[in-house]
Amino acid sequence: MGKGKGIAERQAELAAELVARMEREVKQGNPVDTALSQLLRRRRELGGRDRRFLSELVFSHFRWKGWTAPLALLGPEAAAAAAYLLDAAAPHPAARAMLELCRLPGDGLAPQGGRTLAERGQALVDLWRGRLPDNLAPALLEPRALCPAWLGDELWVPPGAEPGAHLAHCLEAFQLRPPTWLAVRPGFLDALAAQLGPRAPLTPHPRLTRAAALGGNPDLDPARRKLPGFFQVQDLASQAVCEVCAPRAGERWWDACAGAGGKALGLLERMRGHGQVLASDVRRGVLESARRRAEEAGLEGLELAALDASRDDPPRDERDGLGGYDGVLVDAPCSGLGTWARNPDARWRLARADVAARADLQVRILERVAAAVRPGGVLVYSVCTLTRAEGPEAVRRFLARVAGFSPEPCPHPLDGEPTDGTAWVWPWDGPANGMFMARLRRAGR
Ligand SMILES: C[S@@+](CC[C@H](N)C(=O)[O-])C[C@H]1O[C@@H](n2cnc3c(N)ncnc32)[C@H](O)[C@@H]1O
């Protein structure tokens, strides 16, 4: 970062500018991760540490804005710096400069990383005591203020759980960024760990042996060059979906909402090169990255198609036409509550009405693709969200409309416990993204 003004002051200025721009993106419904990385890429003068600080600050701003908003009365820099410090493990000179710009003491809020929600709330009140009206604190420092007010009404509450306690558990989890998870090809964990070194330790999941949580915040590009295609960044919950699919060698699958192909590659990998996956998505552009990643990983058997799964049929197979897939995965577009810890801006981009609209789309997609499952085949439905409407209720609606499918009991992918054919990954499992999954078997052979 340039000279002239103090470095911290210039970083503070840029941080405030970025937060304001990202607020505008969120108002237009655009995800911050994409907009921010495009913007930071254009600022060539920034070093790696500057970028890390700025992106941490922006994400912290959206994570804590339900609490820090009153500080914006003293200046937007105060709110953003306080949010940064609520997450941070160490002080930062630019955060100090931002507080001072708003006439707050630069050391008025110690870094709160690792503290409880109650401790962080208290530290925030201590920062603004005497500068903002005292009566702001009790209502604003409720965990519920950290997310949209309708959240509790839409959440699925597991049988036997107390709704208030379940909501509190979710709110707490949304404030903690989960680690990055890698999906590592069997047999390559040690080679990858050696390549990443001790500052980026890998912690394998006890049951999903391909999954490893990554410590530190390393640049993965050198490891990608050294071990091309042997690992991919993939959340634990997404890997759990591939486990629930449990494809067998020689099968033919259709991943009907494939996006950039993370799960499609996971399916191919599990079939050990003896299987086929049609990966389709309504966005043609994202499929190209699925092709590139499959090539990099040396995985054969991937076919791509741009399809609207709520309307279009997959290309007819010459052998058996429609109704021929051993398995169809619908990793459906959803409200994304399960990603609110990783992408905190998502909570401010979603309207309550979106939940019902996505649920309707999910049921339409399930109804449409069901015909492509061969008799005796499997339909797996997954959504990275935690709502009732998009979870068990969407499955119930599908089963009421389409005859011949029923949930197939299977072990829970993360702990092996028996399930009724539906399973949740909660954000505190792992910790990772939250996810709902259902495995449905079509009658016949
Ligand atoms: C949850 S994401 C899928 C992520 C992907 N399976 C992965 O593992 O990376 C949902 C995907 O559904 C796609 N989508 C939305 N509406 C669709 C539709 N009507 N038909 C097919 N795909 C759709 C979106 O473009 C998005 O890529």
Of 198, 233, 268, which closes a domain?
233
Q: How far is the CA of 247 from the centre of ligand 1 (A)?
A: 20
Do 142 and 258 sit in the same domain of this protein?
A: no
Q: Could you tell me the distance, in angstroms and rounded to a whole number, from the CA of residue 255 to the centre of ligand 1? A: 9
- The atom number, within ligand 1, closest to the CA of 310 reads 19
What's the CA gap between 319 and 304, in Å, rounded?
A: 18
Q: What is the mean pLDDT of each run of 10 residues along the chain (445 residues)?
A: 68 92 96 94 88 95 94 92 97 95 95 94 90 74 93 97 97 96 95 95 96 92 91 97 97 97 96 93 94 92 97 77 84 98 97 98 98 97 98 98 98 97 97 98 93
Q: Does residue 431 have a cis bond before it (omega within 30 degrees)?
A: yes
Rounded to whole angstroms, the Cα distance separating 200 from 307 reads 39
* Domain containing residue 290: 236-442
Residue 167 lies in a domain: no
Are 278 and 303 a contacting pair, CB within 8 Å?
yes
User: Could you tell me if 262 and 212 lie in one domain?
Assistant: no
Catalytic-residue membership of 384: yes
* Whether residue 229 is found in the same domain as residue 244: no
Residue nearest atom 11 in ligand 1 by C-alpha distance:
257
- Structural domain contains residue 165: no
282 within ligand 1 shell (Cβ under 6 A):
yes
Number of domains in the chain: 3
Q: At what angle do helices 48-68 and 76-87 cross, to 10 degrees?
A: 100
Catalytic: which of 102, 242, 257, 384?
384
Q: Let me know whether 129 and 93 are in one domain.
A: yes
Q: 431 C-alpha vs ligand 1 centroid, how far in Å?
A: 23
In a domain, 1, yes or no: no
* Buried b / exposed e along 256-269 (16+ C-beta atoms within 10 A): bbbbbbbbbbbbbb
pLDDT for the residue 323 = 57
Work out which ligand 1 atom sits closest to the CA atom of 311. Answer: 19
User: Does the beta carbon of 295 lie inside 6 Å of ligand 1?
Assistant: no
- Ligand 1 pocket test target in 235, 238, 282 with most atoms within 8 Å of CB: 282
- Tell me whether residue 152 is in a domain: no
Q: Do 125 and 199 fall into the same domain?
A: no
CA–CA gap between residue 117 and residue 389 (Å, rounded): 29
- pTM to 2 decimal places: 0.94
Is 162 contained in some domain? Answer: no
Region of residue 229 (phi > 0: left; psi between -120 and 50: alpha; otherwise: beta): left
How far away, in angstroms, is 333 Cα from ligand 1 center?
A: 5
Most ligand 1 atoms within 8 A of CB, residue of 33, 263, 281 to mutate:
281
CA-closest residue to ligand 1 atom 6: 258
16, 89: one domain: yes
Q: According to the model, what pLDDT value does residue 8 have?
A: 84
Neighbour tally for 21: CB within 10 Å = 15
Tell whether 228 and 362 lie within a shared domain: no
Determine the distance separating the centroid of ligand 1 and the alpha carbon of 137, expressed in angstroms: 41
pLDDT at residue number 260:
95
Please give the number of the atom of ligand 1 that sits closest to the Cα of 241.
8
C-alpha angle with apex 395: 359 to 251, nearest 5 degrees?
110
- Where is the domain boundary, 146, 171, 189? 146
Domain endpoint, select from 125, 146, 167: 146
Q: 330 CB less than 6 Å from ligand 1?
A: no
Specify the DSSP element, H or E, that contains 347: helix 346-349
Per-residue pLDDT at 139: 64
| Beta carbon of 258 within 6 Å of any ligand 1 atom | yes
Q: Which atom of ligand 1 is nearest to the CA of 361?
A: 19
Atom in ligand 1 nearest the alpha carbon of residue 384? 1
Helix axes 262-270, 284-297, angle to 10 degrees: 40
User: Are residue 324 and residue 201 in the same domain, yes or no?
Assistant: no
Residues 98 and 221 in one domain: no
Same structural domain, 356 and 248: yes
286 and 208 within one domain? no
Q: How far is the CA of 70 from the centre of ligand 1 (A)?
A: 37
